[in-house]
Amino acid sequence: MEDKVMGESTSAQPTDVCRSVAEAGAFAPPAREAVYAAIYGRRDIRHFRPDPVPDALLHRILDAAHHAPSVGFMQPWTFIIVRSLETRRRVKELFERERQAAACYYDEPRRSQYLALKLEGILDAPVNICVTCDPTRGGEVLGRNSMPETDVYSTCLAVENLWLAARAEGLGVGWVSILKTTWLRAILGIPPHVIPVAYLCIGYPERFEPEPLLQRVGWRARLPLESVVCEERWRETEA
Tens-binned pLDDT, residue by residue, of the chain (239 aa): 334 444 443 344 556 666 666 677 899 999 999 999 999 999 999 999 999 999 999 999 999 999 999 999 999 999 999 999 999 999 999 999 999 999 999 999 999 999 999 999 999 999 999 999 999 998 888 878 888 899 999 999 999 999 999 999 999 999 999 999 999 999 999 999 999 999 999 999 999 999 999 999 999 999 999 999 999 999 887 66
pLDDT of residue 167: 98
Instruction: Give the separation between CA 119 and CA 170, rounded to whole angstroms.
Output: 20
- What's phi and psi for 221, nearest 5 deg? -105, 160
pLDDT of residue 16: 64
Number of structural domains in the chain: 1
pLDDT of residue 14: 57
Instruction: Give the separation between CA 97 and CA 180, rounded to whole angstroms.
Output: 9
The domain in which residue 122 lies consists of 42-138+148-206
Q: Indicate whether 211 belongs to any domain.
A: no
CB 53 within 8 A of CB 171: yes
State CA 68 to chain mean position distance.
12
pTM summary value: 0.89
pLDDT of residue 38: 97
Q: Indicate whether 64 belongs to any domain.
A: yes
Residue 5, exposed/middle/buried by CB under 10 A (0-12, 13-18, 19+)? middle
Q: Indicate whether 56 belongs to any domain.
A: yes
pLDDT of residue 43: 96
Q: Indicate whether 53 belongs to any domain.
A: yes
pLDDT of residue 9: 39
Q: Compute the CA torsion angle 31, 36, 39, 42 (nearest 10 deg).
A: -80
pLDDT of residue 147: 87
Q: Indicate whether 25 belongs to any domain.
A: no
pLDDT of residue 144: 84
pLDDT of residue 7: 41
Q: Identify the CATH number of the domain in which residue 126 sits.
A: 3.40.109.10
